[in-house]
Structure 1
Amino acid sequence: MQKDFYDFIVVGAGAAGLTAAQYGARSGLSTLLIDCAETGGQALNIFTLENFPGFFPAVKGTTFIQNMLSQTQSFGAEILNTKVLSIDKVKGKFIIETEKGRISAYSVLIATGAAHKTLNIPGERELCGRGVSYCATCDGPFFRGGKIVVAGGGDSACEEAFYLSSLADSVILVHRRGELRAQKAIQQKIQKVKNITVLYNTEIEKINGSEKVRSVLLKNNLSGEKTEMPCDAVFVFVGMTPRTELVSMLKKDEGGYLITNYRMETAVSGIYAAGDVRAKPFRQLITASSDGAIAAHQAHEYVTLLKAQKKNL
């Protein structure tokens, strides 16, 4: 039965949150995992997960998450599906207001993730995981020797195009403006790669295919001309939006990601951040899980010390 006070509350049930809840509960902390969305986060969009150590042959993202959820619950973590409305710290304890009532805790982990910005065009959602991807490291190897279209013009799009060029025969970088927004050094790097072509003043209007991506419909923004280009995959890198609305008081980097130290600690004692919502150079399932494990370990130390101090008063 759900209580009104916990040692450790995790907000967000992606890989980071599930791992943290598992480690927290296993260490003896009374642990509650809260998420208003479907458990699993972005991992649910992974059609074939082949690069998580220990999972071989490859599994579906949904299977991976279901196993994580079952494992987390087996250690005693509780799950609550509701929307968190606010998080405040009052007299050394955290007050979490949800649509199902108020819950308090000694420590809190923010593992709310980040949302990929989408092109919002026909075929993008329907073919996600079947040629449409938002992660080159995750899905690029599936398209070795193929023709890949990359949407975007910033640092991420150019860096990912550079990575994909080592796998694909041809990479077409499509950017809606007349010049790239990436740093000059990154632009110069991709200009030296023979199998990367940049199409300026161009947008993708539609992604075609049934079971998998077959082509894209391109529109030249200057002439209005439309052309269909055959391709094997479309990688979208038009930015991400970290979900930090609940913790506006915490420090963020220029991209809006939460700043922590290597212990996953934020500037507010007792509150941690893990996964894609955190400022870091590499975002993968395995790094999210690592973040979650570290955060839970630190929360255990924090709560144990807090309880000892209260006992000695």
Structure 2
Amino acid sequence: MPANCQNPLETLILGSGPAGLTAAIYAARSRCCPLVIHGRQPGGQLTTTTVIENYPGFVEGIDGNELMQRMQEQAKRFGTQFVEGEVTRVELTKTPFRIWLGEECYQSKTLIITSGASPKMLGLDNEWELYGRGVSVCATCDGFFYKEKDVVVVGGGDTAMEEASFLARFARKVTVVHRRDELRASPPLQKRTMDNKKISFRWNTEVVAIHGDKQQGVHGLRLRDNTNGEEEDFACHGVFIAIGHTPNTDLFKGQLHMDQDGYILTKNACETNIPGVFAAGDVQDPNFRQAITAAGSGCMAAMLAERYLDNLGE
């Protein structure tokens, strides 16, 4: 055993969002005590979501933080262990795999990566303060709350056009704010949004401030015209930031196969190019990014890890 390394675990899980905690529940029920390594904010992005209304089983909806706490308690009930820390290095070239938290080294026969993806934000002072209170990065998650209200979508790619089209089903008016004078979205998506009478466009425009507070939420934006530098206040009830996500995969570059955007490539649902290493949730899913799909893939990753260990004869 390498110096300063813990005895090998059977399953180690990186991340504690819905994918990681579901994987932990399934792994714990099939064999003893998986270890979950999580950062300062256990539970992932959902802990900043005030109400989740589309997770099955919660008729009246549930607070995102409460949902993740329940998942964590369920995982603990079956014997899952949790460690807080920042992973600084991984070595996947041989088994058992090695993961470092600073100078502390953990070894594991299987590894499930559920480190998620971080939304690209505008870099404004209060955007995280108002996240879930009028600032959103997911129309599918939050669009229902904006029935007959005015909303803004920031972005010009496929995701922004899809968000705008979805929001138009609920909102009274959708305004797309784009910093350029043309869209990057595919022609069919451009046509769909431009043909929708509820969607309008503000070209060559950037959001430079968000007006609102935690109690009342968002009530407007400060917009700047890039052609002349003039600024104006724009009233709205919500802003959806749709400028992309960044998968949290820097640690695995050069070891795991990824697409051009850094998402881990998988086959058979959750298998990576390295046997015994699995990926689940947003870290390998650039398309759906839903709590329920992340949880489903976490289940699959744990079951595949169990089969992998069984095939080792353990």
The TM-score by the shorter chain falls in which range?
over 0.9
* 1:247 lines up with 2:256 in the alignment: no
Q: TM-score, normalised by structure 1?
A: 0.95
What per-residue deviation string (whole Å, max 9, x for no partner) do you get for residues 225-251 of structure 1?
Answer: 111111111000111100111211211
In 2, distance between residues paired with 1:226 and 1:92?
A: 58
In 2, distance between residues paired with 1:81 and 1:92?
A: 23
Indicate if the aligned counterparts of 2:17 and 2:45 stay in contact, CA closer than 8 A: yes
What per-residue deviation string (whole Å, max 9, x for no partner) do you get for residues 84-119 of structure 1?
Answer: 122223543211122251111110011000110111
**2:264 aligns to what?**
258
Unaligned runs of 5+ in 2: none
CA-CA distance at 1:134 after TM superposition = 0.6
Indicate if the aligned counterparts of 1:14 and 1:42 stay in contact, CA closer than 8 A: yes
In 2, distance between residues paired with 1:26 and 1:14?
A: 18
Counterpart of 1:97 (choices 95, 100, 122) is 100
Indicate if the aligned counterparts of 2:8 and 2:96 stay in contact, CA closer than 8 A: no
Matching of residues 134-145 of structure 1 within 5 Å:
134-145=137-148
**2:25 aligns to what?**
22
194-203 or 54-63, larger mean C-alpha shift: 54-63
97-106 or 238-247, larger mean C-alpha shift: 97-106
**Secondary structure of residue in 2 paired with 1:9:** strand
In 1, distance between residues paired with 2:40 and 2:184?
A: 33
**1:197 aligns to what?**
200
In 2, distance between residues paired with 1:88 and 1:29?
A: 24
Corresponding letter in the other structure for 1:173: V
Indicate if the aligned counterparts of 1:86 and 1:97 stay in contact, CA closer than 8 A: yes
Corresponding letter in the other structure for 2:250: E
Indicate if the aligned counterparts of 1:8 and 1:29 stay in contact, CA closer than 8 A: no
In 2, distance between residues paired with 1:4 and 1:120?
A: 42
Corresponding letter in the other structure for 1:19: T
Corresponding letter in the other structure for 2:247: P
**Secondary structure of residue in 1 paired with 2:179:** coil
Corresponding letter in the other structure for 2:199: I
Matching of residues 150-229 of structure 1 within 5 Å:
150-210=153-213, 211-229=216-234
Q: TM-score, normalised by structure 2?
A: 0.94
126-135 or 85-94, larger mean C-alpha shift: 85-94
**2:304 aligns to what?**
298
**1:121 aligns to what?**
124
Corresponding letter in the other structure for 1:223: N
Indicate if the aligned counterparts of 2:6 and 2:107 stay in contact, CA closer than 8 A: no
CA-CA distance at 1:166 after TM superposition = 1.1
CA-CA distance at 1:282 after TM superposition = 1.0
In 2, distance between residues paired with 1:108 and 1:215?
A: 45
Paired residue total:
307
Unaligned runs of 5+ in 1: 309-313
In 1, distance between residues paired with 2:286 and 2:207?
A: 30
**Secondary structure of residue in 1 paired with 2:27:** helix
Counterpart of 2:273 (choices 255, 267, 273) is 267
CA-CA distance at 1:22 after TM superposition = 1.1
In 2, distance between residues paired with 1:187 and 1:120?
A: 26
**1:86 aligns to what?**
89
CA-CA distance at 1:280 after TM superposition = 4.7
